Amino acid sequence: MPEGEFEFIARRLRPLATAEGALGLTDDAALLDPRPGHQLVLAKDAMVAGVHFLPDDPPAEIARKLLRVNLSDLAAMGAAPLGYLLALARPSAIADAWLGEFCSGLAADNAEFEIALLGGDTVATPGPLTLSLTALGEVPKGAALLRGGARPGDDLWVSGTLGDAALGLQTLQGKLEVTGEARARLIERYRLPRPRLALGQALRNIATAAIDISDGLLADLGHILEVSGVGAGLDADALPLSPAAQDLPGARDAALSGGDDYELLFTAPPERRADLEALARRLDLPLTRIGEVRAGSDLEVVDARGQRLEPRSKGWQHF
């Protein structure tokens, strides 16, 4: 006999609801006191079994990824996280033990990011397991990073390394043979993104536009260019690759077009280069200049010799 909804809330969810405003999940809704001079920042993502994760993925890692992709959206806005709401639609085949592991994943990340569950809902469903999480954060009023502020002459920057998550997924799917330490690193990058919260907050007074890379560098860069009304030149050979990725076939294509890296892509005026180099050292996180914002609306991708690359069905190739 699976545990009922109220038992599930009491046993599994209440221990996650450590914030005062969560009221121990005893009331109909949570209470938040916004700090004076701040704005609330809200982000929501949903994940469906068989679509966004594999049914046999480890439940704790599914929970942490669901939370982290939302925290990554807060990071892209320059926000600090406050807490989150969770909705869970559960098919009868999902065992109590699965939910227990799922909740222990949330507990681990509550501790890591110093946040708490604020409330939510659980329902039964005849369909696949469906999870939805809403993250709440705050930012000083008017200081949020938006997609629309890039200006011609700005540098294009990216954090961390690109393509690892896409290569990790290809490895899990058996499409790419990688062994040993490199295999473990790539799969971890796919399953457990690292939201760049400290970087996002530090960029509030430096970046002119920002986005987190969830759909792939080119797709997400396209969003910045569209909203800002600008074009860009991108140096494909400048893209930062990890030691695990750099010698693999398709690494550059994964860096250009693969998703799930959850690094930050941002623009900043050239006079901020020294500030960004100092920030990279302070955060111990590589920040790499990968191109420049231009007038117009074209995105030109070139290699280190200045030769233009064009998309082909099997990735980006020389024109």
Distance from C-alpha of 153 to C-alpha of 268, rounded to nearest angstrom? 9
Q: Are residues 108 and 60 in contact, defined by beta-carbon separation less than 8 angstroms?
A: yes
Q: Closer to Mg ion by CB, 168 or 200: give it.
A: 200
Residue 118, both tokens:
């604020």
Min dist CB 41 to Mg ion, Å, is: 12
Instruction: Work out the angle between the directed axes of helices 96-113 and 59-76 (0-180°, nearest 10).
Output: 30
Binding mask 103-122 for Mg ion (x = CB under 5 A): --------------------
Q: Closer to Mg ion by CB, 12 or 189: give it.
A: 189
Distance from C-alpha of 212 to C-alpha of 196, rounded to nearest angstrom? 9
Q: How many residues sit in the footprint of Mg ion (CB under 5 A)?
A: 3
Distance from C-alpha of 50 to C-alpha of 75, rounded to nearest angstrom? 27
Min dist CB 79 to Mg ion, Å, is: 12
Q: Closer to Mg ion by CB, 73 or 154: give it.
A: 73
Distance from C-alpha of 264 to C-alpha of 169, rounded to nearest angstrom? 20
- Kindly provide the residue ranges of all beta strands, DSSP E only, lying in 259-314, ordered along the sequence: 264-268, 287-294, 299-302, 309-312
Min dist CB 259 to Mg ion, Å, is: 11
Distance from C-alpha of 75 to C-alpha of 287, rounded to nearest angstrom? 15
Q: Closer to Mg ion by CB, 71 or 182: give it.
A: 71
| Contacts of Mg ion in 185-244 (CB under 5 A) | 212, 214
Q: Closer to Mg ion by CB, 193 or 250: give it.
A: 193
Min dist CB 180 to Mg ion, Å, is: 32
Min dist CB 43 to Mg ion, Å, is: 8
3-state secondary structure of 261: coil
Question: In Å, what is the CA distance from 170 to each residue of 154, 272, 311?
Answer: 34, 37, 20
Distance from C-alpha of 117 to C-alpha of 107, rounded to nearest angstrom? 9
Burial of 286 (0-12, 13-18, 19+ CB in 10 A): middle
49 secondary structure, DSSP code: B
Min dist CB 126 to Mg ion, Å, is: 31
Q: Closer to Mg ion by CB, 171 or 228: give it.
A: 228
Min dist CB 298 to Mg ion, Å, is: 24
Based on the shown chain and the rule CB under 5 A, indicate whether residue 263 belongs to the binding site for Mg ion: no
| Contacts of Mg ion in 26-85 (CB under 5 A) | 73
Q: Closer to Mg ion by CB, 176 or 265: give it.
A: 265
Residue 62: what are its φ and ψ, rounded to 5°? Answer: -60, -45
Min dist CB 70 to Mg ion, Å, is: 9
Q: Closer to Mg ion by CB, 220 or 253: give it.
A: 220
Question: In Å, what is the CA distance from 217 to each residue of 132, 147, 201, 214, 261?
Answer: 25, 14, 21, 8, 9
Min dist CB 258 to Mg ion, Å, is: 15
Q: Which residues pair with 27 in a beta bridge?
A: none
Q: Closer to Mg ion by CB, 244 or 264: give it.
A: 264
The site for Mg ion (CB under 5 A) is made up of 73, 212, 214
